[in-house]
Amino acid sequence: MKDSELQFDRNCHVLYSKPCKKEILAKIALHYPEAQREPVWEQVQRQYAAFLSDWRTDLGGKKNFHNGTGGTYDCIAILSYYVVCKAATSFREIEEMEENLILPSFRRLRFVDCNKPLFRRLMYRAFTSAQAGCDKWHDYEMRVAPYEKDKPIYYEFTACPVAEFAVRHGLTDIMPALCNVDYVSMELIHAKLIRTTTCANGCKCDYTICGDRDPYRTEHPEYRDEKGYRRNK
């Protein structure tokens, strides 16, 4: 089925990104013989449209930066793939798909070193700018704590539309695979994420970010919980 034939309200929703479509098609090709690939992809497309048929219409469409590659709608597309291909796919595969969408932009920032005060300050400004976008659309409810020199940056989300979607559709089992990418992205810019909970398994998603040489990181060792979330003590 052509993407243009998918039936959903394009005034308020957006189509999955081209990189996301490429990721899903690549995984389908891994698991299904050639004759089945197009029908399976069409099932994923139809599941995506079905999900959007009763989904929130206030997320800003193409105007909201959260709806780009790897964002809210790509996560819904990945969850559509997961629903259709659950018997064939794996937790690590879903994790890898989100990494392939999110991490390219962070790899272009390899020159950033969050151990250095300049970059830490620039990162803080990026987070406050992101909060302004969240305040505009009220999709992710974000709060950034005041900047304190020589201390980790802290911000949190108290609402996440992807977590909300997963809870509504009984898909919280795979949410760790979508959330864990935050750890990998920080590692690419010489930072460490310290997290204790997410919106999918708690009341907020907390981000404490320090340089990867900051002694603070050793006070909060990382582990994977029984559901697959990367977390810190």
Residues 32-46: pLDDT tens digits? 999 999 999 999 999
Mean pLDDT of 52-59: 96
How much is the pLDDT for 80?
98
Residues of the chain with pLDDT > 90: what percent? 99
pLDDT (0 to 100) of residue 15: 98
What value does the mean pLDDT of the chain take? 97
Work out the average pLDDT over 53-74. Answer: 96
Q: Supply the pLDDT for residue 128.
A: 96
- What pLDDT is attached to residue 144? 98
- Whether residue 112 sits in one domain with residue 77: no
- 1 confidence band (pLDDT: 50, 70, 90): very high
Residue 27 within any structural domain of the chain: yes
Task: Look at residues 42, 64, 89 and tell me which one is the last residue of a structural domain.
Answer: 89
Q: What is the mean pLDDT of residues 112-138?
A: 95
**How does residue 74 score in pLDDT terms, banded at 50, 70 and 90?**
very high
Query: Is there a single domain that holds both residue 196 and residue 145?
Result: yes
What is the number of structural domains in the chain?
Answer: 2
pLDDT digits (tens, 9 = 90+) for 162-200: 999 999 999 999 999 999 999 999 999 999 999 999 999
What is the C-alpha separation between 79 and 174, in angstroms, rounded? 8
Contact indicator for 2, 18 with CB cutoff of 8 Å: no
pLDDT at 40: 98
Final residue in a domain of this structure, among 62, 89, 116: 89
pLDDT given at position 224: 97
Q: What is the pLDDT of residues 90-105, one digit of tens each?
A: 999 999 999 999 999 9
> Is the separation of the CB atoms in 193 and 183 below 8 Å?
yes
In terms of domains, do 173 and 223 share one? Answer: yes
Q: What is the pLDDT of residue 54?
A: 93
User: Are residues 214 and 119 both part of a single domain?
Assistant: yes
Asked whether residue 31 is domain-assigned, the answer is yes
Same domain? For 216 and 112 the reply is: yes
For 44, the domain range is 3-89
**Same domain as 10, residue 48:** yes
What's the token pair of residue 175?
């949410």
